[in-house]
Amino acid sequence: MICPTCGKDDSTKAGWSIFKDSKEQRHRCKACGRTWKTIGKNPKLLYFDIETSHTHFKGWSPGKQYVSARQITQDWFTLSWSAKWVCTTSMFSYVINPKEVKRGGDDKRIVTAMWNMFNQSDIIIGHNSDEFDIKKMNRRFIYHGLNPTKPYRTIDTLKVARRVLGKGGNSLDYLTKYFGLSDGKIKMHDEDWDACEAGDPAALRKMSKYNDKDVLDGESVYLLLRAWDKSHPNLGLYYETDTPRCKNCGGTDLEYDNLKTVKTSVNTYVCWICVNCGANGRTPESTRYAGPEPDEDSADRKARAAENRDKRNSLMR
DSSP assignments along 73-136, one per residue: EE---EEEEEEEETTSS-EEEEE--HHHHHTTS--HHHHHHHHHHHHH-SEEEESSIIIIIHHH
Specify if 110 maps to a domain: yes
Output the pLDDT for position 261.
77
Average pLDDT over residues 236-262: 82
Average pLDDT over residues 6-33: 66
Could you read off the pLDDT of 163-210 as tens digits, one per residue? 999 988 899 999 999 999 999 899 999 999 999 999 999 999 999 999
Residues 49 and 197 in one domain: yes
Residues 206 and 266 in one domain: no
Residues 220 and 267 in one domain: no
Q: What is the CA radius of gyration of the chain?
A: 25
Output the pLDDT for position 317.
45
Higher-pLDDT residue of 53, 2? 53
DSSP summary character for residue 227? G
Domains in the chain, number = 2
pLDDT-derived band at 37 (thresholds 50, 70, 90) equals: low
Output the pLDDT for position 128.
96
Instruction: Inform me whether the pLDDT recorded for 290 exceeds 90.
Output: no
Residues 208 and 269 in one domain: no
CA-nearest of 15, 20, 18, 16 to 242 is 20
pLDDT-derived band at 21 (thresholds 50, 70, 90) equals: very low
* Residue finishing a domain among 193, 228, 263: 228
Residues 269 and 204 in one domain: no
Instruction: Inform me whether the pLDDT recorded for 145 exceeds 80.
Output: yes
Residues 137 and 223 in one domain: yes
CA distance linking residue 214 with residue 185, whole number of Å: 7
CATH of the domain at 147: 3.30.420.10
Residues 45 and 71 in one domain: yes
Specify if 56 maps to a domain: yes
Residues 151 and 248 in one domain: no
Specify if 188 maps to a domain: yes
Using CB atoms within 10 A of its CB, is residue 12 exposed (0-12), middle (13-18) or buried (19+)? exposed
Output the pLDDT for position 294.
60
CA-nearest of 244, 259, 253 to 278 is 253
Instruction: Inform me whether the pLDDT recorded for 140 exceeds 90.
Output: yes
Residues 306 and 215 in one domain: no
Task: Note down the domain range covering 88.
Answer: 41-60+67-228
Q: For residue 15, count other CB atoms closer than 10 A to its CB.
A: 11
* Residue finishing a domain among 163, 193, 228: 228
Specify if 236 maps to a domain: no
Specify if 31 maps to a domain: no
Average pLDDT over residues 93-100: 96
Instruction: Inform me whether the pLDDT recorded for 18 exceeds 50.
Output: no
Specify if 13 maps to a domain: no
* Residue finishing a domain among 173, 198, 228: 228
- Which range, 84-98, 196-210, 298-312, has the best average confidence (pLDDT)? 196-210
Residues 154 and 212 in one domain: yes
Residues 169 and 276 in one domain: no
Using CB atoms within 10 A of its CB, is residue 180 exposed (0-12), middle (13-18) or buried (19+)? exposed
Output the pLDDT for position 65.
84
Output the pLDDT for position 173.
95
Specify if 88 maps to a domain: yes
Instruction: Inform me whether the pLDDT recorded for 19 exceeds 50.
Output: no
**Angle at which helices 134-143 and 108-120 pack, to 10 degrees?**
120
Using CB atoms within 10 A of its CB, is residue 42 exposed (0-12), middle (13-18) or buried (19+)? middle
Higher-pLDDT residue of 61, 115? 115
In terms of C-beta distances under 8 Å and separation of at least 24 residues, what long-range contacts does 172-181 make, across chains too? 172/127, 172/214, 172/217, 172/218, 172/221, 173/217, 175/221, 176/217, 176/220, 176/221, 179/221, 179/224, 181/217, 181/220, 181/221, 181/224
Q: Where are the alpha helices (DSSP H) in 121-261?
A: 134-143, 157-165, 172-178, 190-197, 201-225
Residues 142 and 170 in one domain: yes
Specify if 7 maps to a domain: no
Whether the CB-CB separation of 8 and 32 falls below 8 Å is answered with: yes
Backbone torsion region of residue 276, taken as left when φ is above 0, otherwise alpha when ψ lies between -120 and 50, otherwise beta:
alpha
